[in-house]
Amino acid sequence: MKVLVSDNISDKGVEILRNASLEVDVKTGMTPDELKACIGQYDGIVIRSATKLTADVIECAKNLKVIGRAGSGLDNVDKAAATSKGIVVMNTPGGNTITTAEHTIALIVSLVRKIPQATQSMKSGKWEKKKFMGVELFDKTLGVLGLGNIGSQVAKRALGLNMKVICYDPFLNEELAGNLGIKKVSLDELFAGSDIITVHTPLTHETKYIINKDSIGKMKDGVRIINCARGGIVEEVALYEAIKSGKVSGAALDVFEKEPPENSPLMTLDEVICTPHLGASTHEAQENVALAVAGQIADYLVHGTIRHAVNFPSIPADQVNTLRPYIDLAEKMGCFASYFMDEEVKEISIELRGEAAEIMNEPVKIAAVKGFLTPVLEHTVNFVNATHIAKERGIIVKVTKNADAGDYNTRVDLVIKSAKKDFSVSGTLFSKKDPRIVAIDNYIIEVIPEGTMLYINNNDRPGVIGSIGTLFGQSGINIARMHFGRETKGGMAVSVVSVDGNVGKDILDKITKLPNIIEVKKITMNG
């Protein structure tokens, strides 16, 4: 079997692949057309961030069985296209954890003590001691937005510096946070209470521009902002304006909305220090991820063992065709439910009913948990570690079976429980392969769970649907599908609207202001 290494990785990783009797070609720096021309001959490919495996590239990958990312982020891989072709996509989620956490701490210290600015001043022949007065980290409050692998390591190091640490993470168990010496707070409490804010979340529709003009307005005067996660989590124009006004005293950035940043006004500010996406750039980290991804690809191609796959669990080969549709359904249901829970989750309950009660339940359970956690922990969670992460966060996962599927031959029920509320969603398979959501809480409704959808909770009154359609028409947004459900005539109702393309916050705000609209949520399916 042949493996293509299309980005630079450690020679030790290449050696692992060759020692597994795999034929390896190292071809870095290829153009998209060059990659399309050669990828069809390979069974596996190893990438970092430079290679872009878009849908049209994957379409040319006639023999490709596995994609391995030396690192955690998979923004450069079309996971949906890979999954549809049966290609396993793997990453190495833990390899960059320590190095990125250390880089975050380095930026925090550099920012508060103005080390880069002082260095530049001295190298220009100046001695400006008074100009570079700093502040202590001792007893300051660090707000950690996202307490996953990297965020928790940053928090531990900040505690070692005698900082107070607060965090926002909707799925984190409050008791576990307390055991770490960290106080779990709401997002607004984190904004209001932090002297320094560091973000450690994936870039999703929920986290894009989570640091924006409005959220900065809720922060302390003189707050400092750190981003070593993903460009686009911090709205750069809003950050620039806040620094210029004095609201934000400084920022340290390792990632940017566009990389490399071109003509960014942030680069003109003395209060901003920056590095060129160096979070994972240590010899140790690069060797760790190279060794890990090479071992994973070798194990899969030679032995059929799947490790750290983001799009497929390990299941017996003779059951793949039966289980794959249920895995897809459960993952989509979990993802859908995630958008309705913004507080600590206590339990995830899955009930397999009818024909579903006769299948292996473990892959379906894992898929539901992975789907639920993915919108918050996109690059960290996969089919291998999903249930472990849930356990770490104090979430109990239960599976039951019931021979009765009601009006359906097969059905999967998912209930998410918190201290304050339960949320339920039910799904089935049409033609034994096409996933459908058939109930949301008390509403009977048929939804095709794919792409971008708007969940609209409204009073059942005439004109609601017309006003939504008119608004979309005026905004140039095409409606692909609309699904409706209601409890009783004239009571509460829901609409799930599938749209082509993205819907921005401005449109959501306009919908919310329409008559009889109670709630609007934008939902984006995994992949």
Q: What is the CATH number of domain 314-441?
A: 3.30.1330.90
- Say how far apart CA 342 and CA 338 lie, in whole Å: 8
* Residue that is written with structure tokens 């209470």 in the block: 193
Give, in order, the Cα–Cα distances in Å from 124 to each of 106, 118, 121. Answer: 23, 10, 5
- Residue 391, token pair as written in the block: 């356990």
* Residue that is written with structure tokens 């059951």 in the block: 319
Please tell me if the domain spanning 1-92+281-312 has the same topology as the one spanning 97-274: yes
CATH of 97-274, one of 3.40.630.30, 3.40.30.10, 3.40.430.10, 3.40.50.720: 3.40.50.720
Q: Which long-range contacts does 121-129 make (Cβ < 8 Å, 24+ apart)?
A: none
| Direct distance between the N- and C-terminal alpha carbons of the chain, in angstroms, rounded to an integer | 28
Coil, strand or helix at 441: coil
- Using the Cα atoms of residue 398, residue 403, residue 407 and residue 408 in order, give the sign of their dihedral: positive
Sequence ranges of the domains in the chain: 1-92+281-312, 97-274, 314-441, 445-527
Give, in order, the Cα–Cα distances in Å from 165 to each of 104, 194, 235, 380. Answer: 14, 9, 24, 22
What number of residues does the chain have?
527
In 112-222, which ranges are E strands? 141-145, 164-168, 183-184, 196-199
- Residue 213, token pair as written in the block: 């003009």
Confidence at residue 172, expressed as pLDDT on a 0 to 100 scale: 82
Which class is 445-527 in CATH? alpha beta
Q: Which sequence positions are flagged as catalytic? A: 230, 259, 277
In 10-104, which ranges are E strands? 23-26, 44-47, 66-69, 88-90
Confidence at residue 308, expressed as pLDDT on a 0 to 100 scale: 86
Confidence at residue 321, expressed as pLDDT on a 0 to 100 scale: 81
Residue pLDDT tens, the chain, 527 long: 999 999 999 999 999 999 999 999 999 999 999 999 999 999 999 999 899 999 999 999 999 999 999 988 888 999 888 877 878 999 998 788 999 999 999 999 999 999 999 999 999 999 999 999 999 999 999 999 999 889 999 999 999 999 999 999 987 878 888 888 999 999 999 999 999 999 999 888 788 999 999 999 999 999 999 999 999 999 999 999 999 999 999 999 999 999 999 889 999 999 999 999 999 889 999 999 999 999 999 999 998 788 888 887 767 667 778 898 999 999 999 999 999 988 889 999 999 999 999 999 999 999 999 999 988 876 678 777 788 888 888 899 999 999 999 999 999 999 999 988 999 999 999 988 899 999 999 899 999 999 889 999 999 999 888 998 899 888 888 999 998 998 888 888 999 999 987 788 888 999 999 999 999 999 988 54
Confidence at residue 526, expressed as pLDDT on a 0 to 100 scale: 59
Per-residue exposure over 354-375, b if at least 16 CB sit within 10 Å of its own CB, e if not:
bbbbebebebbbbbbbbbbbbb
Edge-first strand listing for the sheet containing 410-418: 396-402, 345-354, 410-418, 422-430, 434-440, 443-447
* H/E stretch holding 170: none
The architecture in CATH of the region 1-92+281-312 reads 3-Layer(aba) Sandwich (3.40)
> Alpha helices, DSSP H only, in 281-348?
283-298, 320-338
Return the closest-CA partner of residue 93 out of 293, 354, 303, 258: 293
- Say which DSSP state 478 is in: P
Q: Residue type at 116? A: P
- Say how far apart CA 82 and CA 76 lie, in whole Å: 12
pTM exceeds 0.85: no
- 285 and 257 Cβ atoms separated by less than 8 Å: no
Return the closest-CA partner of residue 215 out of 185, 188, 246, 184: 188
Beta bridge partners of 270: none
Provide DSSP, 212-268.
Answer: SHHHHHTSPTTEEEEE-S-TTSB-HHHHHHHHHHTSEEEEEES--SSSS--S-GGGG
- Say how far apart CA 129 and CA 115 lie, in whole Å: 12
Beta bridge partners of 274: 253
Confidence at residue 448, expressed as pLDDT on a 0 to 100 scale: 94
